[in-house]
Chains A and B, each alone.
Chain A
């Protein structure tokens, strides 16, 4: 295994950890708003690490560009969908969860 393989696998594993943390957040967080935080932010970062790891193993520049475009499209989709779902929840009167004090 070359050094690049080690770094690549390491980055992909870190990415997977963020996907797991994001999914744990969706399960553990108490309401739609907090879950949206977990989904959008953790997946964006997780995919970023996976894309970096895969880019190290790419055979050609166009594959690297494809990975970058894929990441960019997912980020834009997440950043757009998150606020839209949050707005729909708010305007339809979904109460945000509060820590009882």
Chain B
């Protein structure tokens, strides 16, 4: 974990205020702007800010507004498809499942982008991340006949666009996971 003490106090205070403002805004909305609720809210905003600074001292990334819009549009459209897909599979008498464990060669490098990718694909049709090791994302797929490679590359491009990142030339491919029972041995 990076030493936050090396940074200037001004940066740390600015970061603290930014995060406190975000948590305060969330509380303000959740408490429906009731002034009396700050009695409970203020201590928790403070605790959340301290926890956030402890867990991720430095953010080290930016979000591009237009990229965020494109990501949001993509996410809403695809997660609706994901919900429909799994709901239909659940209620159809034939239970149309053909699961497989697949590995995807990541083209995104930064940790935060990989985490967002793993979280995102878990709400899209038929894919569920089950961990990242080295440059490989392992995922459980509900039905091997789904176009997983194409959809993974599309999500990765949206995440790269959101953070303004470049994708590596390597990766972007799918292979079956050699070890059935997962990555405990790898």
Q: Which residues of A contact B (CB under 8 A)?
A: 17-18, 21-22, 24-25, 28-31, 33-34, 36-38, 40-42, 44-46, 48, 60, 62-63, 65-66, 69-70, 75-76, 78-80, 82-83, 86-87, 89-99
What residues of A have a CB within 8 angstroms of the CB of B79 in the complex? Answer: 41, 44-45, 75
Residue tally, chain B, CB below 8 Å to A: 43
Nearest first, the 8 closest Cβ-Cβ pairs linking A and B are A45-B83, A25-B90, A90-B182, A21-B87, A86-B130, A87-B131, A79-B119, A83-B129
Q: Are A37 and B181 in contact (CB-based, < 8 A)?
A: no
Which residues 66-84 of B sit at the A interface, judged by CB distance below 8 A?
79-80, 82-84
A44 touches B123 (CB 8 A): yes
Report the bound CA distance from A90 to B124 in whole Å: 20
Known: A28-B90, A34-B97, A70-B30. A91 touches B131 (CB 8 A): yes
Q: How far is the CB of B159 from chain A (nearest CB, A)?
A: 13
Question: From DSSP, what is the main secondary structure of chain A's interface residues?
Answer: helix
**Partner among B33, B90, B128 whose Cβ is within 8 Å of the Cβ of A40:** B128
Chain B residue nearest to A60 in the complex (CB): B32
26 A-B pairs whose Cβ atoms sit less than 8 Å apart in the complex:
A21-B88, A22-B87, A29-B90, A31-B99, A37-B140, A41-B123, A45-B82, A45-B84, A60-B32, A62-B32, A63-B32, A66-B29, A70-B30, A79-B120, A82-B128, A83-B128, A83-B130, A86-B130, A87-B131, A89-B182, A90-B131, A90-B182, A90-B183, A91-B131, A96-B182, A98-B99
